[in-house]
Amino acid sequence: MFSNLFNFASESGIHVSLKAEPITHIGPLTVTNSMIYGTVCIVLLFIILIIAARKITFKPGKSAFGGAVEYLVEFVINLMQGPFGSRKKAVKFAPYFATFFIFILFNNLMGLLPVVGPAIEFGGNPIFRPFTADLNGTIALSVIAIIMVQILSIKEQGVGGHLKHYFSDKPWNPINFFIGILEVFGELTRITSLSLRLFLNTAVGEILIAVFTSMIAPNGRTPVAVIPIFLFEMLVAGIQAYVFTILAATYLGISIAHADHGEEHNVPHAPDAPKTKVEAVARS
């Protein structure tokens, strides 16, 4: 399937590349078009969120722009309640996971603009390439997400509690030790799954848009043909941001589940609460 798509693209003169192209060099560092695009997205997103923060108010008649960003953050908080099991923890960890959600969503949607891709070139290479359409970019996001999960888990339950997640409370038991090693190895496979899922969905979307944009009709190119693909890619952009965020949050939720379980069982009874049905009848 992919070979036929690439053959059609090459025969039609469509620029198709599965890797980021170099634009310039800063010393030993090679600056690629995905790095430039990612930097531009971060700067724009930073400016947008600062403006939105200033417009958010508790007074009636608040701005639609500030309200939209506020709704987006509330959506992420509600999303986090599932993996963490409580709104308190969802609010606590929302800033970390909302960063991933908003950045991936913004990056994917900005990638649909006409200026992204072969429209603007430098040295024969497009200047802008979606950050998530670069495997190096998605691997970087995945590594940061998994490291963040480990750090937050340690902060939440300490080093000992975090290790119990992998090796239980009897790590020197051969079976527990073997299972723990598999769990640690599983963290590495999570990096692979997160990065490949995000990269492939974005890269294939870029290829489909390029192909459908260049379809030939009697009167020349037909950009109308790409409208259904654009709408589909907008949906995929939200789904990919959702999936990446919910998976990363689930990894943290599973990691700190032992600490949460212990807290639930250590909650003291209210001093005047009846402990048996006999006491309840006697008090009534």
* Interval 150-168 mean pLDDT: 83
Q: Please determine, for residue 280, whether its predicted confidence score (pLDDT) is greater than 50.
A: no
Q: Considering only residues 112 and 224, tell me which one the structure prediction assigns the higher pLDDT.
A: 112
> In the prediction, which pLDDT does 120 show?
80
> In the prediction, which pLDDT does 215 show?
61
Q: Is 200 exposed, middle or buried (0-12, 13-18, 19+ CB in 10 A)?
A: middle
Percent residues over pLDDT 70 in the chain: 74
Length of the chain: 284
> In the prediction, which pLDDT does 214 show?
64
Contact 229, 209 (CB under 8 A): yes
Q: Give per-residue pLDDT as tens, 38-89.
A: 999 999 999 988 888 777 766 655 667 667 778 888 899 998 988 888 888 9
> In the prediction, which pLDDT does 125 show?
81
- pLDDT band at residue 269 under the 50/70/90 scheme: very low
Tell me the pLDDT of the chain averaged across its residues. Answer: 77
223-231's contacts with Cβ under 8 Å and 24+ in sequence apart are 229/205, 230/112
Give the separation between CA 33 and CA 14, rounded to whole angstroms: 18
- pLDDT band at residue 141 under the 50/70/90 scheme: very high
The whole model's pTM is what?
0.78
Is 268 strand, coil or helix?
Answer: coil
Give the separation between CA 125 and CA 204, rounded to whole angstroms: 19
Q: Give per-residue pLDDT as tens, 175-231.
A: 777 877 888 888 888 999 899 888 888 888 777 777 766 665 444 455 566 677 778
* Interval 121-132 mean pLDDT: 84
